[in-house]
Amino acid sequence: MPNTTAKTIPDGLWRKCKQCGVTIYTDEMKKNHWVCGNCDHHHRLTANERASILFDEDQPITEIATEVRAVDFLQFKDDISYQERLQNAQKGDARRDSVAAFRGCVKGREIVAVIFDFTFMGGSMGSVAGERFVRGVEEAVALNIPFVSFTASGGARMQEGMVSLLQMAKTTAALTDLQRLRLPHISVLTDPTTGGVAASFALIGDIIIAEPKALIGFAGPRVIKETVREELPEGFQRSEFLLNRGAIDMITDRRDMRDTLFRVLTMLTPERH
């Protein structure tokens, strides 16, 4: 007879690290900011997960430009229509897109943070991403506070054609307003930061921070290797490789990110401390 007293393990109780394969309690992963306690692999986060570990819990958090929504103006279709892809990625939340913009505090220092979400269509930058980025910059300018971007993107959103490529110029141009007021733009590169995002605002921050072992570059290593027909250096296009060659300023473990941002913000805007 079957053992009817046997207990079933609830779904979601465990998570397997994608890097080392070790199984860890989900609650433990959450407490560790989704960094593997065995190998320190930084798992990818949604925008809301990133915001929840970035901002002070006892201070208000405001989401910016939630009314901006994607439009299938090209009536684009490959395997399925663009509208269907959006609906599948939104999972019932029509506000959701590859970028979310927030205003909140990091250890008491008010900032605007624009956060990319790789789980939404690969963090692709389309019209909504560009508009929310610009609205975030405008909020920082209006309040005279620093601006921080967290990137995780595969590049431009092909379903929006040329409009997606225009976001490279749009986002970069918006940063000139920060420069005019001497407000810092801190760019935090997470895995992956590639394509049009890497080729625009991501690599022109006043301070560029990367998470460990993040893939950073315009084209991927496989594409480059096939193009130049040469063996690429070990760790090519990873954070550590770029730091060694002066392309970024520092590498910071996600668990130390709040402390690092606070120190950088204090140095760049000491009068607000």
Annotation: binding site for Zn(2+): 17, 20, 36, 39
In this predicted structure, what is the pLDDT of residue 13? 87
Domain 44-272 is classified in which CATH homologous superfamily?
A: 2-enoyl-CoA Hydratase; Chain A, domain 1 (3.90.226.10)
Identify residue 156 by its one-letter amino acid code: A
Tell me which residue of 168, 195, 32, 191 sits closest to 119, measured CA to CA: 191
Tell me which residue of 145, 68, 122, 54 sits closest to 100, measured CA to CA: 68
What's the pLDDT tens digit per position in 82-110?
Answer: 999 999 999 999 999 999 999 999 999 99
In this predicted structure, what is the pLDDT of residue 9? 55
Annotation: binding site: 17, 20, 36, 39
In this predicted structure, what is the pLDDT of residue 2? 52
Residue 25: C-alpha distances to residues 14, 31, 57, 69, 119 (Å): 5, 10, 23, 36, 21
Backbone angles phi, psi at 153, to 5 degrees: -155, 145
For the chain, residues with pLDDT lower than 50 are: 1, 5-6, 272-273
Identify residue 28 by its one-letter amino acid code: E
> Distance between CA atoms of 123 and 118, rounded to whole angstroms?
4
In this predicted structure, what is the pLDDT of residue 5? 46
- Within the chain, all domains assigned CATH 3.90.226.10 are found at 44-272
Q: pTM, whole model, 2 decimals?
A: 0.93
Looking at residue 158, what DSSP letter applies?
Answer: G
> Distance between CA atoms of 82 and 109, rounded to whole angstroms?
39
> Distance between CA atoms of 266 and 228, rounded to whole angstroms?
43
In this predicted structure, what is the pLDDT of residue 231? 87
Looking at residue 178, what DSSP letter applies?
Answer: H
Q: Is the dihedral of CA 228, 234, 238, 243 positive or negative?
A: negative
> Distance between CA atoms of 184 and 146, rounded to whole angstroms?
5
> Distance between CA atoms of 66 and 47, rounded to whole angstroms?
13
Identify the three-state secondary structure at position 273: coil
Identify the three-state secondary structure at position 213: coil
